[in-house]
Amino acid sequence: MFAYGFVVNAFAAAGIVAIVSGLVGYFLVLRAQSFAGHALAHVGFTGATGAVLLGAPPLAGLIPVTVLAGVFMGLLGERWQHRDVAIGMVLSLSLGLGLLFLHFFTAYASQATTLLFGNVLGVDRGVVWALLAQGLLSLACLAVIARPLLFASIQPELAEARGVNLRLLSVLFLGIVGLATAGCAQIVGVLLVFTLMVGPAATAQRLTTRVLPGLALAALLALCEAWLGITLAFYTDWPTSFCITVLSAFVWLIALAKAP
């Protein structure tokens, strides 16, 4: 299998995205903002299709639009009770724009399908390096805000009383989520972002309540599911995104059945 260059690129890209998604997704699930990853993926699709219509590469629209949407969500929804409304409004607007772009996107049906469902086996070396830079940036930013973010996620009222700026943390974190979502969408597609962003993190939090082991387990599960999914796709000729999704759901169901 590894005699093929495209398989090596697929494993490298999926590994990078899986680790970043597992770590970022842990905080996303902890903060009950899983819907944000779903919404940002649709926003990214709108940005990518818009970029293609303008003659630019999909990544030129996918990454900046997704990050900006995450920041915008954070600005609108700094309070817990307002987050779902803010995210829902951004999602509705992005779906409307996406529908408009798809109306003019008929000449690029194959690219639209790739954006929707991903195509990790079509990743080239340049995309791998871009994902690596994107992943390192995401993890570096996450490391800077990790401690106050954890405090604000578990006890937001106490954190605010201690002087933690909840709104700023929300903006920064959702910007990081947007960056990670853009990478994840390139592997499993915008419709299946939950696969790597939420599934492994939710499973890890079912198995342990400790933060550091939970983060490590979320990243490890995402990595194993991504790599095993590519292996299954290579030998069965089934869609890679389908294999990764089924593995993620299967592992989560096992954890759900076994965890107290």
What pTM does this model have?
A: 0.83
End-to-end CA distance of the chain: 40
d(CA 178, CA 134) in angstroms, rounded, equals 11
Calpha distance 206→217 (Å, rounded): 11
Q: What is the pLDDT along the chain (260 residues), one digit of tens a residue?
A: 889 988 999 999 999 999 999 999 999 999 887 777 777 777 877 887 777 777 777 777 878 888 888 887 777 755 544 556 666 676 777 767 766 776 676 655 556 666 666 778 778 888 899 889 989 999 999 999 999 999 988 888 888 888 888 888 888 898 898 888 887 777 777 767 778 888 999 999 999 989 999 999 999 999 999 999 999 999 998 888 888 989 999 999 998 887 56
Query: Left, alpha or beta for 233 (phi > 0: left; psi -120 to 50: alpha)?
Result: alpha
pLDDT of residue 120: 80
Name the residue ranges covered by the structural domains of the chain: 20-197
177: phi then psi, degrees, rounded to nearest 5? -60, -40
